[in-house]
Amino acid sequence: MLDLQTLRADVQAVALRLAERGFQFDTAQFAALEGERKTMQTETQELQAKRNALSKQIGQLKAKKEDASALMAEVNAQADQLKTLESKLDDVQRRLNDFLMVIPNLPHASVPAGKSADDNVEVRRVGEPRKFDFAVKDHVDVGAGLGLDFDTAGKISGARFMVLKSGVARLHRAIAQFMLDVHTQEHGYTEVYAPYMVTGECANGVSSLAKFKDDLFKIEGRDLYLIPTAEYPVTNFVRDQILALNELPLKFVCHTPCFRSEAGSYGKDTRGMIRQHQFDKVELVQIIHPDQSQAGHEELTAHAETILKKLGLPYRTVTLCTGDMGFSSAKTYDIEVWLPGQNAYREISSCSNFEGFQARRMQARFRNDKNKTETVHTLNGSGLAVGRTLVAILENYQRADGGVDIPEALQPYMGGLKTLAPVR
RNA sequence: GGAGAGAUGGCCGAGUGGUCGAAGGCGCUCCCCUGCUAAGGGAGUAUAGGCUCAAAAAGCCUAUCGAGGGUUCGAAUCCCUCUCUCUCCGCCA
């Protein structure tokens, strides 16, 4: 949610910045709602104050065993009016809130303007794509011989699911373990385990349920959603909290499966495990002081990149342009790994600074050095998507004989195994 | 699944219809006293929002005692629904 003070101070400026990301902010409607809210609230509170004062007097009279019927009549006379005002105020506040809750975040000043992914700006490219002296296969073909099984998955769950067996199953597990160890031991994150389902309220804390509920799997008959990323439960750890200054920053790393309905992505990435209804991800989350969120964002992105470096996977990092950013983000770096099978860089991590946007929705604050409550900033990023890392390893480390070399960093997690041999 | 108990401020804990945003204690902040330390005395110490104001400061007001609804002139207190926690029994990875 945008900061109401900022919004009131200069609606036009806000509208302009939102336009950059392709969002039409209805300034007239905002002015109307705000105006209505203001009148309703003032009137309602005046009446409430009057009622409270009279009630107090009634109490005093009754304590002295005196007659209070005149005052009671006076309160009763305005009771209907008060009730009407209260419900009108309630209504306008809800409408104002609904209006505000679907407005995306303001892009940070450093975000390049643009309409689509084509306008994203590459900030760095690391590693050289390998030259193959044999016909390169994509991960589906490489994996087929190693235990990657879409047929069985299709039978039991349908499209966009996978079954892993034997070597690839173990490799999949090794990747997640490796990432968790690097982030906890080298980057100072606290490992957390969190629920795979969250309430609608929590979903609204990090994103907009009204806007994106179709992307989520909902538990029938309950106010629970399967998480599309560990960001959902973990960021909400600090919901409704006032943290002490010295508690910041909080740094969490969490490995979970992620569930996405992928509504609206029909026909996109239908082959292979690039886009699945269920995939594992190791997520980095930081709750941070506003003054440090920019630096923290750079740092978190570097933490994610470290994994790719250690795995020897070529990648590039891009800054998403205003038109390609997610709803809640003020600034996002996507890290894209090189996939020989697609002859392209594909997203493997998305690292965002949400500034106070999520924190205001969650009411996550801290006590600043002036002892005042202030909104925290939140950051998160994939560190990394486990399934896509598996894809990248299968494709980048494939051998002419159909096997796959195991990156050195992962060998300790594979019992010292150096190569996955085809199982036939 | 069955039976019972409970949810109050940073923490503990009182409060079962009236001046209660809430006693008391602990903690914390500031001040005083005490040649250090210990002890003692005083004051302050929730959050969100609104109004006044150019703004700040300040003041006033509203809401909030797990959440939502209801009764009432008035609700932490009474009623209903829900959520969560604890205890016992049963079941169980």
pLDDT the model gives residue A424: 63
Return the closest nucleotide (C1') to the Cα of A37: B50
Read out DSSP for A345-399?
A: EEEEEEEEEEETHHHHHHTEEEE-TTS-EEE-EEEEEEEEEHHHHHHHHHHHTB-
Cα-based distances in Å from A368 to A162, A248, A289, A375: 48, 11, 9, 9
CB-based contact A25:A34 (threshold 8 Å): no
* CB-based contacts of A317, cutoff 8 Å, min separation 6: A122, A123, A124, A125, A126, A301, A305, A333, A334, A335, A336
- Nearest partner of A180 among A266, A265, A253, judged by Cα: A253
Return the closest nucleotide (C1') to the Cα of A52: B74
- Assess whether A124 carries a catalytic annotation: no
CA angle A367, A371, A373 (to 5 degrees): 45
* CB-based contacts of A390, cutoff 8 Å, min separation 6: A139, A168, A171, A172, A175, A273
The 10s digit of each residue's pLDDT in A118-137 is 999 999 999 999 999 999 99
Cα-based distances in Å from A362 to A50, A291, A373, A375: 34, 19, 14, 10
**Alpha-carbon dihedral sign for residues A176, A135, A144, A138:** positive
- Nearest partner of A179 among A405, A398, A381, judged by Cα: A381
The 10s digit of each residue's pLDDT in A387-414 is 999 999 999 999 999 999 999 999 999 9
Quick check: A52 CB within 7 A of strand B?
yes
What percent of chain A stands above pLDDT 70? 100
Report which listed range, A9-13, A241-245, A306-310, A356-360, is most confident.
A306-310
Least confident of A294-298, A366-370, A372-376: A366-370
Q: What is the ipTM of this complex?
A: 0.84
DSSP code for A118: G
CA pair distance A126, A229, nearest whole angstrom? 26
More confident residue, A170 or A82: A170
pLDDT the model gives residue A139: 95
pTM, 2 dp? 0.92
Which amino acid belongs to residue A32?
Answer: A
CB-based contact A348:A315 (threshold 8 Å): yes
Å separating the CA of residue A46 from the C1' of nucleotide B62: 8
Neighbours of A332 (CB within 10 A): 25
Quick check: A126 CB within 7 A of strand B?
no
- Assess whether A275 carries a catalytic annotation: yes
Mean of the per-residue pLDDT values of chain A: 92
User: Which window residues (261-320, chain A) lie with Cβ within 7 Å of strand B?
Assistant: none
Quick check: A51 CB within 7 A of strand B?
yes
**Cα Rg for chain A, rounded, in angstroms?**
27
* CB-based contacts of A382, cutoff 8 Å, min separation 6: A229, A281, A282, A283, A284, A304, A348, A349, A350, A351
CB-based contact A205:A361 (threshold 8 Å): yes
Average pLDDT over residues A335-354: 96
Of A207, A328, A349, A350, catalytic: A350
DSSP code for A127: S
- Block residue for tokens 């992105």: A301
Quick check: A76 CB within 7 A of strand B?
yes
Could you give the residue ranges of the DSSP H alpha helices within A195-330?
A: 200-206, 209-212, 231-235, 293-311
* Bases of chain B within 7 A of a CB of the protein: 10, 18-19, 47-51, 61-63, 73-74
- Assess whether A388 carries a catalytic annotation: yes
CB-based contact A163:A152 (threshold 8 Å): yes
pLDDT the model gives residue A1: 86
Tokens of A378: 């939140």
The 10s digit of each residue's pLDDT in A151-200 is 999 999 999 999 999 999 999 999 999 999 999 999 999 999 999 999 99
Å separating the CA of residue A197 from the C1' of nucleotide B70: 33
Average pLDDT over residues A280-292: 95
Return the closest nucleotide (C1') to the Cα of A5: B49
